[in-house]
Every structure is written in structure tokens, then in C-alpha cells.
Amino acid sequence: MDAVAHYTRLFAYDAWANQEVLANLRTAPTPPARALKYIAHILAAERLWLERLEQREEKLPVWPEFTVEECLKQAAELAALWKNYLAANSVTPAYTDFIHSVRQGFIK
């Protein structure tokens, strides 16, 4: 399995796990505040790392105060964003371009 396929599979699992947690929080009459705090943090941190990889401005605080509905929205957006990122980018280390350039004689 190549790196992109591996990460795509990991992020699919991540999206599933986030949805499972949120489905359980959604059915609770009053979701536990601590659980909601942590899932909001997980979603914000995952978005933060994606924004850093794409060299974009960070849009969310690391510890946002989301409702369950806001978390559901963020989780859905995040799953699509990571899927698109992985589809558009290879996970090949940048140094391979450098090594290729040296071997081709572009860099001495």
C-alpha cells in the first residue's frame, strides 16, 4: 500500500470514529461537557494541521466551544477536506526532488 492510500485509509477511519462519538453525544439528553470539549478540540486540531500543511491562516481556536451540531458540521467538512488534500497531494518526501535533480545534473 502506498503512502497516500495508507493515509486515506487512516483518515477514513478517523472520520468514522469522529462520527461514532458524535452520534453518541447527539443521543444524550445532555452531552457530557468534558466529552464535548475534547471532541471539539480534536476536530479543531485536525483542521489546524491541515491549514498548516496548506499554509493557510488558522480559522479556529485550538479549544473551541462547539455544540454537538457544530461538531457534526466540522467533522463532515473536515473529512471532505482531508480526502481532497490527500487526493491532490503526494506524500513523497520533498528531498526526492532534490536527489532527482542531483542525479540529472541540474544541481552540482
Chain-centroid distance, C-alpha 63: 16
pLDDT in tens, 13-55: 999 999 999 999 999 999 999 999 999 999 999 999 999 988 9
Cell numbers for 41, please give them: 478540540
Helix residue ranges per DSSP H, 54-94: 68-88
For CA atoms 43, 89, 6, 80, the dihedral sign is positive
**Does residue 62 or residue 107 have the better pLDDT?**
62
Q: What is the model's pTM?
A: 0.79
- Domain extent, residue 47, equals 3-104
> Looking at residue 30, what DSSP letter applies?
S
Number of domains observed in the structure of the chain: 1
Phi then psi dihedrals of residue 28, to 5 deg: -75, 135
Give the model's pLDDT for residue 95.
Answer: 47
pLDDT interval class at 104 (50, 70, 90): low
